Amino acid sequence: MLLFVVPGLLFFVIPVGLTAYDDSHRLSIMCTISSAVTGAESSGSFKGGGASGHQVVVVTEQCGKILLQDRITSSNADAVAREVSDADRVRFSVGVAAYRLRAQLALFGVSPTAYSFEVVDGS
């Protein structure tokens, strides 16, 4: 029984719970951008599973890795990655739970997904 309960909790109950919580609990974070790329890295989130869809993977100095998946398509992914990587700082709206647990979730290859972003200043 333990063989089914633990994986069920890890791969279904906890992700669904975190996603539901994050959908109604947001945090605004300001991050200094190191890089932003499209499809060059396999990264997962609770919102999108693996990196099968289009996404922009943003690496930041103090906030870690943040994924942009909402409204990212094959036609705009490169432009979004350029816009973010050209910026010095970007403000992201992320889910509170996923962001605060980002170090633990990274052990499972999961990164926080931004609900929105705003370039604060460019280089």
Given pLDDT bands bounded at 50, 70 and 90, which one contains residue 29? very high
pLDDT value of residue 37: 94
Task: State both tokens at 13.
Answer: 């109950």
- Residue 39 and residue 30: Cα distance in Å, rounded? 24
CB-based burial label for 1 (10 Å; 0-12, 13-18, 19+):
exposed
Q: Would strands 113-122 and 65-68 be described as parallel, antiparallel, or unpaired? A: parallel
- Residues 75-122 have pLDDT tens digits of 999 999 999 999 999 999 999 999 999 998 888 888 999 999 999 975
**Comparing 18 with 115, which gets the higher pLDDT?**
115
Give, as one character, the DSSP assignment of residue 12. I
Total domains present in the chain: 1
Owning domain of residue 42: 2-122
Quick one: average pLDDT of 24-30? 97
pLDDT value of residue 51: 45
pLDDT value of residue 121: 72
* CATH number of the structural domain spanning residue 56: 2.40.50
Task: State both tokens at 31.
Answer: 């991050």
- Residues 34-82 have pLDDT tens digits of 999 997 444 555 554 444 578 999 999 999 999 999 999 989 999 999 9
Phi/psi for 4 (5° steps) reads -100, -30
Give, as one character, the DSSP assignment of residue 76. T
Yes or no: say if 67 and 56 are a contact pair by the CB < 8 Å rule. yes
Given pLDDT bands bounded at 50, 70 and 90, which one contains residue 5? low
pTM: 0.80
**Comparing 14 with 51, which gets the higher pLDDT?**
14
